[in-house]
Amino acid sequence: MQLPDPKTDGDVSLEMTIHQRRTVRSFHGTSLTLTQLSQLLWAAQGITEPEGFKRAAPSAGALYPMDIYGAVGGDCIERLNPGVYLYKSATHSFSLIQEGDVRRDIAMASLGQMWMSYAPITFVITAEYSRIMGKYGQRGVRYAMIEAGHIGQNIFLQSLALGLEAGIVGAFEDQKIIQVMGIKSTHEPLLLMPVGYEK
Ligand SMILES: Cc1cc2nc3c(=O)[nH]c(=O)nc-3n(C[C@H](O)[C@H](O)[C@H](O)COP(=O)(O)O)c2cc1C
């Protein structure tokens, strides 16, 4: 799915988004537009150089070891079937990698935090350490985890600027998330972020 072009300005101030940011754990089922999805993915890992490859969040050595997956429910995002999708920064597109709504399974794999399953989309931020350890060795693991934090904060603040809210979850079983989402076993999930309208 090709995403609409993201905006690079907006009506909500950065200060307001920082001031209002909270971890939200109560969502209702109102669907998101493709424009909102585009903006969230752009804030997470979109390319922000006119003809380059550098992204919205910083990355040690510009090696970009992170991927953003999204678990989408039925009637949750305009024009998207329920499934697991992978964001492709280079083309600003969101590719279906597995059909079906796995939000409940994700919540179960997150120590039964069922509130997560009500958000229309849960983003899964993963790291593939081999992309960064070639240059930085074991320290690359630390760098990837720091990068996940930057991406997470961008998703938080962009959510607020769109009138949405986000949660953040680190308590989950890695292997179960990999299995449920059908993602590559080398992509280690570091953060889960349900996003939607607050109930
Ligand atoms: C790395 C990390 C992991 C977290 N894991 C969870 C989690 O599994 N479940 C949850 O409800 N909140 C989780 N949180 C959210 C924190 O509880 C929350 O950030 C904290 O209470 C401060 O509240 P605030 O984010 O609203 O400012 C996590 C936050 C971080 C940064």
What is the per-residue pLDDT across 112-163, written as a single tens digit (0 to 9) for each?
Answer: 999 999 999 999 999 999 999 999 999 999 999 999 999 999 999 999 999 9
Answer yes or no: is 68 within a domain. yes
pLDDT at 50 over 90: no
Q: Give the model's confidence band at 36: pLDDT under 50 very low, under 70 low, under 90 confident, else very high.
A: very high
Answer yes or no: is 76 within a domain. yes
pLDDT at residue 70 in the model: 98
Closest residue to atom 7 of ligand 1, CA basis = 169
Answer yes or no: is 4 within a domain. no
Which mutation among 145, 160, 165, 168 tests ligand 1's pocket best, with the greatest number of atoms within 8 A of CB? Answer: 168
pLDDT at residue 96 in the model: 98
pTM for this one? 0.97
> d(Cα 129, Cα 111) in Å, to the nearest integer?
25
Full domain range(s) for residue 63: 14-198
Closest residue to atom 10 of ligand 1, CA basis = 169
Mean pLDDT of 28-51: 96
Q: Give the model's confidence band at 171: pLDDT under 50 very low, under 70 low, under 90 confident, else very high.
A: very high
Closest by CA to 190, choosing from 139, 150, 138, 136, is 150
Average pLDDT, the chain: 97
The Å distance, Cα 23 to ligand 1 centre, comes to 6
Mean pLDDT of 11-26: 98
Q: Give the model's confidence band at 51: pLDDT under 50 very low, under 70 low, under 90 confident, else very high.
A: confident
Q: Let me know: does 164 contact 195? Beta carbons within 8 Å.
A: yes
Closest residue to atom 31 of ligand 1, CA basis = 168
Closest by CA to 196, choosing from 27, 23, 75, is 27
Closest by CA to 103, choosing from 120, 89, 81, 80, is 120
The Å distance, Cα 66 to ligand 1 centre, comes to 20
Answer yes or no: is 5 within a domain. no
The Å distance, Cα 90 to ligand 1 centre, comes to 31
CATH number at residue 56: 3.40.109.10
Domain count, the chain: 1
The Å distance, Cα 169 to ligand 1 centre, comes to 6
Answer yes or no: is 95 within a domain. yes
pLDDT at residue 29 in the model: 86
Mean pLDDT of 38-45: 98
Tell me, using a 6 A CB cutoff, whether residue 176 lines ligand 1: no
- Residue type at 82? P
Answer yes or no: is 3 within a domain. no
Closest residue to atom 17 of ligand 1, CA basis = 23
- Higher-confidence residue: 164 or 51? 164
Answer yes or no: is 6 within a domain. no
Answer yes or no: is 2 within a domain. no
Tell me, using a 6 A CB cutoff, whether residue 125 lines ligand 1: no
